[in-house]
Amino acid sequence: MRRHRNVKIVATLGPASNSYEMIRKLFEAGADVFRLNMSHGSHDEIRVRHETIRKVEADLGTPISILADLQGPKLRVGVFAEDGGVELVPGADFRLDLDSTPGDIDRVQLPHKEIFDALEPGASLLVNDGKIRLKVKDCGADFANCEVVVGGQISNRKGVNVPDVVLPLAALSDKDRKDLEFVCELGVDWLALSFVQRKADVDEARALAKGRAAILSKIEKPSAVKSFDEILEASDGIMVARGDLGVELPVQNVPPIQKRLVRQCRAAAKPVIVATQMLESMIESPMPTRAEVSDVATAIYEGADAIMLSAESAAGSYPIEAVTTMDNVAGEVESDPTYTQIIESSRAAVRHSVADGIVAAAREIAETTNVKAICCFSQSGTTASLVSRERPRVPIIALTSEERTARRMCLSWGTINVVVGPVDRFKSAVIAAVRAARAELNASDSDMIIVTAGVPFNTPGSTNILRVAPCEERLIYSADPE
């Protein structure tokens, strides 16, 4: 099922989008990847959602990608003696400690010793999504005496962010490790890691996944931004999670960070998702705000591989409308001549390998001749990712004999993913490419396609052949396309 746009859409599933009928409608409206949020729902509920997606996939005969988003460590205050909590006033003193006694106007428990181990005087603590800001005056192994900088209502188990320090916390909690094993056994395609701080967090998840899923790191902490080069190198993909990033950093810092991270991901040929609050008002309204439409458009103009819906599709009243809105915005942006100018002017000239040269040449040929598509054979997805990085003006058909590769590639910009039978020589690859171009793009005898592949076949990263071939029907029935 070909999309008439290149950017991909990720839709989160939840109470508003559990049924077969709704998931199918979301896909038909434009969703390419479905996100399973492991913060919500039991394993039995996640299993049912996974099975339903695969049923939709089988019925429609097209690859669909599934992303499991791990919860990550959740830092929260304890409980208060009064049900409604207390009102903190700017300038007042407030203490956080390990004492489990219910809190009051002077103190509350913070049951995370690792935070106290890392804190220093002058550090900031943000409570309830940054609505309350505390500054540490002095601290020890089991307490932090703070001044209330920005006050407000604080109540039971509100979340805590610590933006100024790298916490001695692994990105994977005990719950995450159990969830990781569960979803890998189910057969998800991508694992999203929450609250990544360092490369070691990604390495730990990869060791546990054992190749069963690709690793996508969520950038939502200042420490992750500082260590981004190492995190990007260790990851298969990136999510710019602007919600927590905007809590832990001044909000004006987020747009330039988003732009920089998207460009770095593209240069590295790794897919990047821009996420959080993209169409937030559509949780309750069938129409987005103008600012939200502009936000979605900006991510597309920047060259993001994918844009994501969270509560809009998981719990909102208008999930289909939200996906349709994203699809419409994407179509309008990508038809704008300015979009092509921006994308092409931001293209990084990467020439480190034979494969880099092959895909760059394929894109240049496509731009100077009347070529219908670039068809790339990719066992692991690497070649298709390199072609996607080039952002060619013609469609990309990614062919693979590995179903899991086709599913993972659903996250990459511009790819039409096709599963073919085993291919052991280049002549067979040309035949398969012609079939795919005729089926997916309605190519005719007069059309030409570019075919890239690697010899020997079934060797990841071996791209070394480029051929321009006619889409003649006779090739499909020919034992020898030469």
**What would you measure as the largest C-alpha separation in the chain, in angstroms?**
83
The answer to whether 276 is a known catalytic residue is: yes
Catalytic position from the list 47, 54, 76, 260: 76
Type of residue numbered 369 = T
The answer to whether residues 157 and 77 touch, using CB atoms and an 8 Å cutoff, is yes
What is the total residue count of the chain? 482
Q: Is residue 76 annotated as part of the catalytic site, yes or no?
A: yes
Which residue in 12, 276, 325, 415 is the catalytic one?
276
Closest CA to 454 of 370, 368, 387: 387
451 phi and psi, to 5 degrees? -115, 125
Pairing of strands 65-69, 190-193: parallel
Q: Is 35 a catalytic residue?
A: yes
d(CA 141, CA 143): 6
Q: According to the 3-state scheme, what is the secondary structure of the chain?
A: CCCCCCCEEEEEECHHHCCHHHHHHHHHHCCCEEEEECCCCCHHHHHHHHHHHHHHHHHHCCCCEEEEECCCCCCECCCECCCCCEEECCCCEEEEECCCCCECCCEEECCCHHHHHHCCCCCEEEECCCCEEEEEEEEECCEEEEEEEECEEECCCCEEECCCCCCCCCCCCHHHHHHHHHHHHHCCCEEEECCCCCHHHHHHHHHHHCCCCEEEEEECCHHHHHCHHHHHHHCCEEEEEHHHHHHHCCHHHHHHHHHHHHHHHHHCCCCEEEECCCCHHHHCCCCCCHHHHHHHHHHHHCCCCEEEECHHHHCCCCHHHHHHHHHHHHHHHHCCHHHHHHHHHCCCCCCCCHHHHHHHHHHHHHHHCCEEEEEEECCCCHHHHHHHHHCCCCCEEEEECCHHHHHHHHHCCCEEEEECCCCCCHHHHHHHHHHHHHHHHCCCCCCEEEEEEECCCCCCCCEEEEEEEECCHHHHCCCCCC
Bridging pattern class, strands 143-150 and 93-97: antiparallel
Q: Which of 218, 259, 270, 391 is catalytic?
A: 218
Q: Contact at 8 Å (CB) between 60 and 1? A: yes
Question: For residues 287 and 283, what is the distance between their CA atoms, to the nearest angstrom?
Answer: 10
Known catalytic membership, residue 260 = no
Give Rg (Cα) of the chain. 24
5, 8, 24, 35: the active-site residue = 35
- Catalytic positions, written as ranges: 35, 76, 218, 276
